[in-house]
């Protein structure tokens, strides 16, 4: 059977999620939005004390947990400089060269949002050409947030309500062109939106679950402990995340990858075989791939935490991971097809 994703609804959902800043730890607004949307579809949710959403979406026996993460990489205010610029530190695997010249939003404790951008200390080619060309972008040395405010001192910045520890989020710059999805944070909001499509399909009966299925949206994947919470009856754990494209990768933007291994562990061989069978049955265009040396998913921490489960992962090929990322709607559709088939087998 072939399962088809509702492209229009999917893209609308993705754009809504991308518009909500959710740097790791800054989960409240996106969690509240997703809880409201999931419960509007008729599914009960529970939230983790640390942040995270679990929904039991039905089915009986042999429980499966499917996860995607709603947190993103970003920054935090590290120091307020005497000249009114802001030194930041990264949250998760963000590199300064991926954020340079990007617009940002500083979220103050009071809830006020102040805009700015990331620039070099010596940013003008007309004045400091050598420094700009020769220096590597570095949050500790030469890359700062410049606020869209008339500030000339640290006191001026603090009067706006900005303080050490405030979150700084990059604007996603989402666009959809000729089938290509381009944005910061395709990882992993593109896959959270895929899980929302699965919920629509379960509700309308186009996907009939052959087993009990939980959906888990985590908010700490980017720092390594998002997936460590598992309902006690879960037997299998499926992470849905991006498949990174590179010189020795088989992953493609228009295909879904079945992960064989990442930088931590091999994935469960029996689940890999089952997922490949689901790919063949559904007609999904899939490839196997291995992701080393710097990649892991939320399925890994569950094993480290000691749960006796099988784990696996799938996802669409995605370029420029942790930068301005790009995938294709075909890769999204193939991911959905394979996942929908798997929960009905």
Whole-angstrom distance, CA of residue 299 vs CA of residue 221: 10
- Asked about 37 being catalytic, the answer comes back as no
* Residue whose structure tokens are 């500030």: 151
**Contact between residue 60 and residue 54 where contact means Cβ atoms under 8 Å apart:** no
Q: Among 259, 263, 256, which Cα is nearest to 327's?
A: 256
What is the C-alpha separation between 73 and 90, in angstroms, rounded? 8
Angle at 194 between CA 210 and CA 244, to 5 degrees: 110
Cβ pair 329, 14 in contact under 8 A: no
Query: What is the rounded CA–CA span in Å between residue 162 and residue 108?
Result: 5
Determine the Cα–Cα distance for residues 253 and 244; give it in Å rounded to an integer: 9
Of these residues, 221, 222, 274, 325, which one is catalytic? 221
Cis peptide bond prior to 306, omega within 30° of 0:
no
Q: Count other C-beta atoms under 10 Å from residue 61's C-beta.
A: 11
Which residue matches tokens 């992960």?
259
**Separation between Cα atoms, residue 319 and residue 341, nearest integer Å:** 26
Q: How far apart are the first and last CA of the chain?
A: 10
Question: Which distant-in-sequence residues (6+ apart) come within 8 Å of 81 by Cβ?
Answer: 87, 144, 154
Going across the sheet that includes 325-328, the strands are 175-177, 180-183, 325-328
Q: Which residues does 2 contact at the CB level (< 8 Å), separation at least 6? A: 282, 283, 337
Three-class SS of 10-41: HHHHHHHHHCCCCECCCCHHHHHHHHHHHHHC
Residue from 203, 165, 160 nearest 75 by CA:
165
Q: Which residues are catalytic?
A: 221
């Amino acid at each position: 059977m072939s399962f088809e994703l509702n492209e229009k609804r999917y893209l609308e959902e993705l754009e809504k999620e991308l518009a909500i800043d959710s740097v790791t730890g800054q989960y409240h607004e996106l969690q509240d939005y997703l809880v409201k949307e999931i419960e509007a579809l008729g599914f009960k949710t529970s939230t983790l004390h640390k942040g995270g959403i679990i929904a039991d979406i039905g089915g009986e026996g042999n429980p499966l947990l499917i996860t995607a993460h709603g947190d993103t990489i970003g920054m935090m205010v590290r120091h307020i400089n005497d000249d009114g610029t802001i030194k930041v530190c990264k949250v998760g695997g963000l590199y300064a060269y991926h954020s340079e010249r990007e617009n940002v939003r500083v979220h103050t404790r009071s809830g006020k949002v102040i805009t700015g951008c990331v620039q070099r200390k010596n940013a003008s080619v007309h004045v400091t050409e050598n420094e700009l060309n020769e220096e590597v972008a570095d949050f500790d040395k030469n890359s700062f947030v410049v606020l869209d405010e008339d500030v000339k001192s640290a006191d001026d910045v603090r009067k706006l309500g900005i303080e050490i520890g405030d979150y700084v989020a990059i604007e996603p710059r989402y666009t959809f062109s000729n089938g290509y999805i381009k944005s910061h944070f395709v990882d992993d909001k593109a896959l959270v939106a895929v899980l929302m499509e699965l919920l629509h399909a379960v509700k309308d009966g186009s996907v009939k679950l052959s087993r009990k299925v939980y959906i888990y949206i985590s908010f700490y994947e980017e720092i390594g402990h998002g997936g460590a919470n598992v309902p006690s009856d879960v037997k299998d754990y499926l992470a849905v995340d991006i498949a990174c494209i590179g010189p020795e990768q088989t992953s493609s933007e228009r295909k879904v990858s079945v992960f064989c291994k990442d930088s931590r562990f091999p994935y469960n061989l029996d689940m890999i075989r089952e997922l490949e069978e689901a790919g063949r049955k559904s007609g999904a265009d899939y490839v196997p791939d291995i992701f080393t040396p710097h990649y892991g998913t939320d399925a890994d921490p569950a094993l480290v935490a000691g749960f006796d489960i099988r784990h696996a992962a799938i996802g669409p090929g995605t370029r420029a991971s942790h930068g301005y990322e790009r995938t294709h709607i075909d890769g999204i559709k193939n991911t959905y097809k394979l996942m929908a088939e798997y929960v009905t087998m």
